[in-house]
Amino acid sequence: MKHVPPKSIRVMLVDDHAMVRRGLATFLKVFDDLQLAGEAENGETAIQLCAEVLPDVILMDMSMPIMDGATATRAIRQQFPQVQIIALTSFKEGELIKNALEAGAIGYLLKDVSADDLVRAIRDAHAGRSTLSPEAAQVLVETASQPPAPGLTLTEREREVLGLMIEGLNNIQIAGRLTVSPSTIKSHVSNILSKLGVASRTEAVTLALRNRILS
């Protein structure tokens, strides 16, 4: 029976360092089922090239000039949802990981990943399965277990009222400024104190200034 070679997974490389791209291109040649589809040195070029070569999987650096990896990932995933993107970067900051995944990356790996793990991640991405480096997974667990920053749940109106509290206005003055009844403002203030987990207006104002809730 004739051996049928596996269908090649077409991989595009996006990195602003030519040496990194060269190393990855050489790495791809080792595997029968991986094929280099193209190379780009920043996010902007990556979007243009993706339209031309339509790769299966993109290895995307996150920190690049002109356009970063998360911005390019979001644009590519919107235009070409069938293209899977793995963030391949030297950085493991929580914000970067979150941005990459929210932008639509299916995986997040650090550049010191082993060849075996990288080829497995490319194959998994092509099959629609996610891969996170242990460090990235750890950061996400830590981020998820942190309490949310104060003020995130305030409504637009409550933020407005809080701003006037910071200016030193009392309930009647705030009611006059916003042309609503003092009882409505009293209810807003009560909600603000409850959401910020404080007992008094002074504490609310102090917390808001310290955490720059309205900035």
CATH number, domain of 78, equals 3.40.50.2300
Instruction: Point out the domain boundary residue: 122, 145, 168.
Output: 145
Q: Look at residue 191 in the predicted model and tell me its pLDDT.
A: 94
73 and 32 fall within a common domain = yes
pLDDT score recorded for residue 94: 77
Q: Is residue 70 part of a domain?
A: yes
The rounded percent of the chain whose pLDDT value lies above 70 is 93
CATH of the domain at 199: 1.10.10.10
Task: Look at residue 109 and tell me whether its pLDDT is greater than 50.
Answer: yes
Same domain (yes/no): 139, 95: yes
Together in a domain, 16 and 63: yes
Given 92, 116, 145, which residue is the final one in a domain?
145
What is the count of structural domains for the chain?
2
What pLDDT was estimated at residue 52?
95
Residue 59 has a CB neighbour count (10 Å cut-off) of 27
pLDDT of residue 148: 61
| Shared-domain flag, residues 140 and 170 | no
8 A C-beta contact, residue 36 and residue 13: yes
Question: Which residues on neighbouring strands pair with residue 185, listed in sequence order?
Answer: none
Share above pLDDT 90 across residues of the chain, in percent, rounded to a whole number: 67
Whether 149 shows a pLDDT value over 80: the answer reads no
Return d(Cα 11, Cα 3) in angstroms, integer.
23
Q: For the segment 155-211, what is each residue's pLDDT rounded down to a tens digit?
A: 999 999 999 999 999 999 999 999 999 999 999 999 999 999 899 999 999 889 888
Distance, CA of 66 to CA of 43 (rounded, Å)? 7
Residue appearing with tokens 């003092």: 182
Cα–Cα distance list, 13 to 6, 36, 49 (Å): 21, 8, 10
58 and 115 share a domain? Answer: yes
Could you list the residue range(s) of the whole structural domain that residue 191 is in? 156-210
**47 and 117 housed in the same domain:** yes
Q: Tell me what pLDDT residue 68 has.
A: 93
Supply 107's token pair.
């995986």
Of 90, 124, 145, the residue at which a domain comes to its end is 145
Do 107 and 54 share a structural domain?
yes
In a domain, 194, yes or no: yes
Examine the domain organization and report whether 28 and 120 are in the same domain: yes
pLDDT of 11 higher than 70? yes
Same domain, 125 and 190: no
Q: How far apart are CA 181 and CA 136, in angstroms?
A: 50
Cβ-proximal residues to 198 (8 Å cutoff; 6+ apart), any chain: 204, 207
Average pLDDT over residues 47-65: 95
